[in-house]
Amino acid sequence: MRIVLVGPPGAGKGTQAQFIASHLSIPKISTGDIFRANVSGGTELGRQAKAYMDRGDLVPDEVTIAMVRDRLGEDDAQDGFLLDGFPRNVPQAETLKKMLAEWDLRLDIVLELVVDEDEVVRRLSGRRTCDKCGRIWHVDFDDKQDDICDDCGGHLFQRDDDKEEVVRHRLEVYAEQTSPLVQFYADEGILVGIDATGPVEEVTNRALAALR
Ligand code: ADP
Ligand code: ADP
Ligand code: ADP
């Protein structure tokens, strides 16, 4: 299956992507994760992306699209993939459509995670990420008393762009640039919205039911 996840920052895309992708045995391709790995690895791509990410702006389309094209060309993505965080605007969505059409392919489904803004802010302000395995945690919802990953023993950190100022800007960027994708994919007839509130497992079950 070829799947895209959309929803505002903090909706739970990364959290759900890890479960859905492993359930369906397809790779999870998270553009935010790839950018962050390149920033911390000090690569040329990371150097190009960093200033935009720090401000909460989108990295330019040429840079992002070239990266996604390379990733989709890898062997593990040939029979399906789950995109998390891409596309982020209508031009990216149009390019993805053309890219897939060149390979005689199309997306099967776009899953929209629906949550209100108060919940998103609550989720982002407590988000922590493991520096070793990448697992996403929440200080309150996962009742984290320390900053150690229960899965692998790595250290949990707060993303720089989860600071309040930057969060506010990322939400504006979502409203202006990313939310039009919902209509774009509704017009394509492949959009399915699910309620993304409630426990993580319940949301995963709703997502898997929508994908059947
Ligand atoms: P979140 O999970 O909170 O929505 P991401 O991890 O997806 O955030 O993205 C973090 C940052 O990486 C974004 O604010 C943006 O700067 C950059 N980024 C990620 N995906 C894209 C994309 N498709 N286009 C442009 N920039 C992107
Ligand atoms: P490269 O530029 O590294 O040769 P491309 O992205 O041009 O790789 O892909 C080469 C061929 O592999 C394409 O013509 C297409 O048939 C196939 N291909 C690439 N990505 C995918 C994908 N995600 N799913 C299915 N087929 C793909
Ligand atoms: P996104 O990738 O959409 O930005 P994340 O998956 O990183 O969102 O989730 C943001 C924060 O919310 C994380 O701290 C995560 O642990 C938490 N979270 C995700 N799903 C839920 C849920 N169903 N209930 C409570 N917290 C959640």
Q: Is 56 annotated as a binding residue?
A: no
CA 169 to chain centre: 17
The atom of ligand 1 lying closest to the CA of 92 is: 23
For residue 108, the model assigns a pLDDT of 98
89 lines ligand 3 (CB under 6 A): no
CA 141 to ligand 3 center in whole angstroms: 9
The model's pLDDT over 23-52, given as tens digits with 9 standing for 90+, comes to 999 999 999 999 999 999 999 999 999 999
- pLDDT category of residue 113 using cuts at 50, 70 and 90: very high
Average pLDDT estimate for 2-25 = 97
Catalytic residue among 71, 97, 122, 159: 159
Question: What pLDDT shows up at residue 32?
Answer: 97
Cβ(136)–Cβ(36) below 8 Å: no
Under DSSP, the state recorded for 161 is G
Check if 168 is active-site. no
Q: 139 in a domain, yes or no?
A: no
149 is in an annotated binding site: yes
Q: Are strands 2-6 and 81-84 parallel, antiparallel or unpaired?
A: parallel
Does residue 150 lie within any of the structural domains? no
Relative to beta strand 156-157, strand 127-130 is antiparallel
| Mutation test residue for ligand 3: of 127, 157, 179, the one with most atoms within 8 Å of CB | 127
Average of per-residue pLDDT values in the chain: 97
Domain presence at residue 142? no
Q: What's the ipTM?
A: 0.93
Asked whether residue 69 is assigned to any structural domain, the reply reads: yes
* Nearest residue to 81 (alpha-carbon basis) of 153, 30, 146: 30
pLDDT score at 105: 97
**Is residue 123 annotated as a catalytic residue, yes or no?**
no
Q: Is the CB of 52 under 6 A from ligand 1?
A: yes
DSSP conformational letter for 175: I
List CB contacts of 175: < 8 A, sequence separation 6 or more.
Answer: none
Can you give the pLDDT at residue 77?
A: 98
User: What's the pLDDT tens digit per position in 47-106?
Assistant: 999 999 999 999 999 999 999 999 999 999 999 999 999 999 999 999 999 999 999 999
Q: Is residue 33 part of a domain?
A: yes
Q: State which residues form the domain around 79.
A: 2-116+166-211
Number of domains in the chain: 1
Instruction: CATH number of the domain at 38, please.
Output: 3.40.50.300
In degrees and rounded to multiples of 5, residue 79 shows phi and psi of: -105, 10
Q: Give me the helices (H) in 80-138, please.
A: 90-102, 117-125
Distances (CA, A) of 158 to 27, 36, 134, 147, 202: 25, 13, 12, 10, 25
Encoded tokens for 57 = 């702006």
User: Is 97 among the residues known to form the active site?
Assistant: no
128 is catalytic: no
Is residue 154, in this structure, part of any structural domain at all? no
65 in a domain, yes or no?
A: yes
Q: 165: which 2 tokens?
A: 């100022």
Domain annotation covers residue 128: no
Percentage of the residues of the chain whose pLDDT score is greater than 70:
100
